[in-house]
Each structure stands twice: as structure tokens, then as C-alpha cells.
Amino acid sequence: MQIYLPIAEVSVNAFLLLGLGGLVGVLSGMFGVGGGFLMTPLLFFIGIPPAVAVATEANQIVASSFSGVLAHVRRRTVDFRMGTVLLIGGLIGAALGVQLFNTLKAIGQVDLLVRLCYVVFLGVIGSLMFVESLNAIRKTRRGAAPKRKKHTWIHALPFKMKFRTSGLYISVIPPVIVGVMVGVLAAIMGVGGGFIMVPAMIYLLGMPTKVVVGTSLFQIIFVTAFTTLLHATTNFTVDMVLAVLLLVGGVIGAQVGTQIGTKLKAEQLRILLAIMVLAVCGKLAFDLLVMPAELYSLGAPGGH
Amino acid sequence: MLLRAITVLLALSAPIAAEEVVAGLSRDRISITTNFDGSDILIFGAVKREAEIPEAPLQVIVTVAGPSEPVVVRKKDRRFGIWINVEGVEVDRAPTYYAVATSAPWNEVLTETEDLRHRVSVSRAIRSVGAPGDVSNPERFTEALIRIREEDDLYQTNIGTVEFNQSTLFNTSIRLPANLTEGNYTTRFFLTRNGRVIASDETVIFVDKVGLERFLFDLSRQQPLIYGLMSLAIAIAAGWGASAFFRYLRG
């Protein structure tokens, strides 16, 4: 069934969009990532104009994250305090990121920068997670006792705060910095930033994996809602019909994903996420390295 | 007597404007609704004439042009091992949609000079004033634009698809694809003989969004904040709804 999208001004198959939404929703619920880093390129691929894809995807992430976070709230696996601290950083970062994005747009080549950002960040994070979780799986197989958390420089910083749900007593500076960095990258790359935040929470802040997913979703809701409003009011690129189709599939998928997530071990979850991140990274790197079939592309004048 | 002689002379020397084109469309308004999936328009017409049909065969050309917009064509090249956009040419005016249908092979219906004058063929319908001096082969960029849009069915050259009976009645069908933009689509008709245009006519097809499409589009432009908040409200409601539904399912 073909549906004409009023803002994107293209006609697409409704079931294809429902399916894509569902698929990405499952991943979102499983890993606590918004799924934007997968969905945005997929939307480009089916012919949605990039500006509309990025803006609408932000709206869809709000829905799937909200659906996902409710399940986590009931299981008490959301650290609201940590989420709020991250969110403050995230909003500052998003505002900075939009500024940076516009500056780079004026110079040109913002497309390339976005792609390179994806390849570098997905590549680094994916490989780090892959190696780490592989080691963790090996250790549990051998039955060795898990290492006690070491005290690092992070514990020497001021403004300490108790994060009971995460079982942490650390300074608020590292979470705020993580929030800002994720916010900047999220604005540039047009994604929620979960795939960067989840590893940052695990490896930098030392949060337990079970809490990480819910907290990440909690923060993503607000950052993407902010981005949606920004896009809707400045670029007029949020397509409500597209968003509804994606989110109907997305919210159902997110529920299924959350269920699957609870049945898997933390290490397994991380290694799966790592493989997925690396696959997307590989695809994007491949596109940059291999000669494209069509060397020419069309764009609107005065920007991308 | 003298006056009559002058009249006769004038009538003889005047070009054969005796043939005129009278055209019609199966519909002059295309409404883009939610389930819009492209549209076929039947274009038909007749040749009105007062004199005998001259020897040389008459031909018909029909063109449909969507609203024109400037567009940038970029070319990728390999730099530092990766493929990036290196050159760009701005095409000043390119129709978002352009279809041309003829009743015979191109070289039989229109000469190069007439094409230039009336901007009939796809490549003539695009106006590219000048490429930056450092770009080699600027014409390659216009070719690429046509190639890309032809793949999307946005540019069509339909040779010989106009059915022309007894040099009098003609009809053709033109496909408007699903990814159509709003605006006025100018439809032109040309009668040609020996490659020269002898008569032409023009009419307009209005393409616009209606119903939900119209409402959402207008809201997003006129009340962007309300539109944005509405999108968020739908997202939150859907998220909550799915969560509640699944909880209910599991008892």
C-alpha cells in the first residue's frame, strides 16, 4: 500500500515503513540505543530526502524510547538522578552541536564530515566493546571472580553525588562531560546518541549494564524531543505521516526488544551491539572507499 | 478593385495559419491525497483547419513541465582514498518534472533551431547559465541531472507515443509519478511540419495536496511550534500506548 508523505513529498510503501520501524524498535529495546544510526541511513536508502529523514527520525526515537523506558521504570532499572545529570550536559551539547553544524555547513562538505564521524565513532566504539565483552565472556566461562572496581582519577574529582540506583558515589563532572559530548555528536550526526552513551556509561562511569539501558533511554527522550522541536520550527522537515508509520512499528518492536533484552546476559547483549555497530561502520566505510555507481548527485542550492 | 487585389495578395503570401490545434485533458487538476500513487493523464486534441491538408505530413508534440527550481549537481572524485564531492555546478532553472511525447522520431518532428526557440526537448528545458571556470565539462553535469531524473521517471522522452489519426485527431497518455511536487504543470502542444512549428497551444494542470496532506503541510509551515508539539504528543502517546498494551497482554 503506497502512502504519499506530505512533507517529504514522496510516495512510499506503508508496510515497508512499518517493518523498518519494527526492526529498529526491537534493537532499540534490546540495547537502549535510539536506533537512529541505523534508521537514518535506511531512510536515505528508500528515497526520503536526508533533511526530512534526520528530523523525522528524531521524532520517532522519542516514541520508541518512551515505550522502552516505561518497561525499565517498572523494573526500576532507570537511574533518574544520573539521567538528569546526563540530560543537562546533553542539552548544552546539542545546542553547541547545532552551532558547529551550521558553521561547517557554511564551509561545505558537511556530508562528508557526518559520514567520517559515523565511521570513526562507530568503528572505535564497536571494536572496544567487542574486545571487552569477548574478554568478559571468556572470564565468566573460566569462572574467575569479577575484578573489584578500581579507584581511578574519576573518584578524585569534586562535586560528588550519590547515584543509588547505579550504586555509585562519583563526581557529577564526568557525567556532565559525557552528556555534552554525546549532545554535540548527536546534533551533528542526527541521532539520539545512545550508541555512544551506552559504552561511555559502562566504561567511563562504571555503571552496571542493567541500569545503563533504561537511563540512556530516559536521557534520549528529552534530547530527541528537543531536536524534533528545533527541526520542526526552523527547517519544517518533520513529516508526521512518516513518523507515525515508523513509530507504530517502532513502539511494538521496542516492547519485544525489551523482553529479549532481559533474557540475554549483559556480555551477550554488549557483544551483539558491538557487532551491529561494526557492521554499520563497515558499510559506511565501504561506501566512502568504493567508487560509487553514480558519481553525480543532486542537491538544493545554498546548503546540503 | 485595387483593394480586392491587395487582399488576395495578402491572403496568398500569409503563412498557412489555417491549421490550429485544439486540445483537451482528461483532467486539469491532480489532487495529491494520502494514497496518491502517481497518475496518468490522457491528453487529446484535434487540428482545426480551413484549407486542404497540405502534402507534407503534420506532426504533434506534447510537453508537460512541472514548476522550475534551481538545483546543484555535484560530482564525486577520489581524494585521499575516499570518494567525496569535489565539484558542483548550479543549474539555474530545471523543471521538477518534464515529459515530452511526439508522434514520430525526433528528427522528423523538430529541427534543432526550432527546438532551441521553443525549448521543447528535455535538455533545452533546462537552463544552465554558466559553470564556474574551474569546472571541466560543465555539460556533463546537465547530462547527469537528466540521467538521474530520468531514472526516477521525472524526465521522460516518449518518442512516437502520440497517436495521430488522419492528420486531425491526436491523443497520448502521460504518466505523472508518485513523487510529484505541488504547482502548475504547463502543458504545451505543438503542430509541426517539416520540422517547423506551425501552431501551438498551452494549458495548465494544477497539482495540489488535499485533505490530510493539505492540513499537515499548511500546519507545519504556518504553526510550526504547534505542529512540532503535536508530533511529540503523538510519539509519547504511541510509546505509552504500546507499553500499556503489552503489559495488558502479559496480564
Closest CA to A245 of B9, B34, B226, B52: B34
3-state secondary structure of A163: strand
Q: Nearest-CA residue of chain B relative to A298?
A: B73
∠ CA A59-A62-A65, nearest 5°, is 145
Cα distance between residue A149 and residue A133, in whole Å = 16
Domain span holding position A131: 2-143+163-289
Cα distance between residue A200 and residue A214, in whole Å = 14
Cα distance between residue B247 and residue B250, in whole Å = 5
A43 lies in a domain?
A: yes
Residue type, B202: E
pLDDT by position in tens, chain B (length 251): 555 665 555 544 445 457 888 888 888 888 888 778 788 888 888 888 877 777 778 888 999 988 888 888 888 788 887 787 777 788 888 888 999 998 888 888 888 888 888 888 888 888 766 656 666 777 788 888 888 888 888 898 888 888 888 888 888 988 888 878 888 888 998 888 888 888 888 888 888 888 888 888 888 888 888 888 998 998 889 888 877 887 888 77
How many interchain CB pairs under 8 A, A with B?
A: 183
pLDDT by position in tens, chain A (length 304): 788 888 887 888 889 999 988 888 888 777 766 677 778 778 877 878 777 887 888 888 888 788 778 878 888 888 888 889 888 998 888 888 877 776 766 655 666 777 788 788 888 878 887 888 888 778 777 665 555 455 566 666 767 777 777 777 777 888 888 888 888 877 777 677 777 788 788 878 888 878 888 888 888 888 888 888 887 887 788 888 898 888 888 878 877 887 887 787 777 777 888 888 888 888 888 878 877 777 777 776 654 3
Contacts of B178 in chain A (CB under 8 A): 2, 4, 10-11
Residue B77 C-alpha cell reads as: 572524485
Contacts of A300 in chain B (CB under 8 A): 70-72
φ, ψ dihedrals at A158, nearest 5°: -80, -170
Cα distance between residue B109 and residue B101, in whole Å = 11
Mutate to test the interface with A, among B140, B243, B248 (most CBs of A within 10 A): B243
Closest CA to B73 of B8, B164, B137: B137
A16 lies in a domain?
A: yes
∠ CA A189-A195-A200, nearest 5°, is 110
Pick from A71, A241, A300: CB nearest B216: A241
A149 lies in a domain?
A: no
pTM over 0.80: no
Cα distance between residue A266 and residue A269, in whole Å = 5
The secondary structure of B142-201, three-state, reads: HHHHHHHHHHCCCEEEECCCCEEECCCEEEEEEEECCCCCCEEEEEEEEEEECCEEEEEE
Pick from B78, B145, B229: CB nearest A298: B145
The answer to whether the beta carbons of residues B35 and B135 sit under 8 Å apart is no
Q: Nearest-CA residue of chain B relative to A56?
A: B231
Q: How many CB atoms lie within 10 A of CB A118?
A: 24
The domain tally of chain A equals 1
Q: Do B72 and A244 touch (CB under 8 A)?
A: no
A153 lies in a domain?
A: no
Q: Do B240 and A67 touch (CB under 8 A)?
A: yes
Q: Would you call B242 an interface residue with chain A, using a CB distance cutoff of 8 Å? A: yes
The answer to whether the beta carbons of residues B171 and B22 sit under 8 Å apart is no
Give kind and range of the element (H or E) at residue A280.
Answer: helix A266-289
Q: Would you call B74 an interface residue with chain A, using a CB distance cutoff of 8 Å? A: yes
Residue type, A60: Q
Mutate to test the interface with B, among A66, A116, A221 (most CBs of B within 10 A): A66
**What is the Rg, in whole angstroms, of the alpha carbon atoms belonging to chain B?**
25
B147 min Cα distance to partner chain A (Å): 10
A39 lies in a domain?
A: yes
Q: Nearest-CA residue of chain A relative to B216?
A: A6
The answer to whether the beta carbons of residues B139 and B10 sit under 8 Å apart is no
Contacts of B72 in chain A (CB under 8 A): 298-301
Closest CA to A190 of A69, A39, A16: A39
A158 lies in a domain?
A: no
∠ CA A18-A21-A27, nearest 5°, is 145
Q: Would you call B17 an interface residue with chain A, using a CB distance cutoff of 8 Å? A: no
A42 lies in a domain?
A: yes
Interface confidence: ipTM more than 0.85: no
A26 lies in a domain?
A: yes
Q: Nearest-CA residue of chain A relative to B249?
A: A255
Q: Do A7 and B220 touch (CB under 8 A)?
A: yes
Q: CA distances (Å), A151 to each of A168, A177, A205, in order?
A: 12, 19, 11
User: Where does residue A26 rank: exposed (0-12), middle (13-18), buried (19+ CB within 10 A)?
Assistant: buried
Q: Nearest-CA residue of chain A relative to B246?
A: A255
Residue with cell string 572470564: A139
Give kind and range of the element (H or E) at residue B69.
Answer: strand B68-79
B200-232: per-residue pLDDT in tens?
888 888 888 888 888 888 888 888 888 889 989
Pick from B75, B240, B247: CB nearest A66: B240
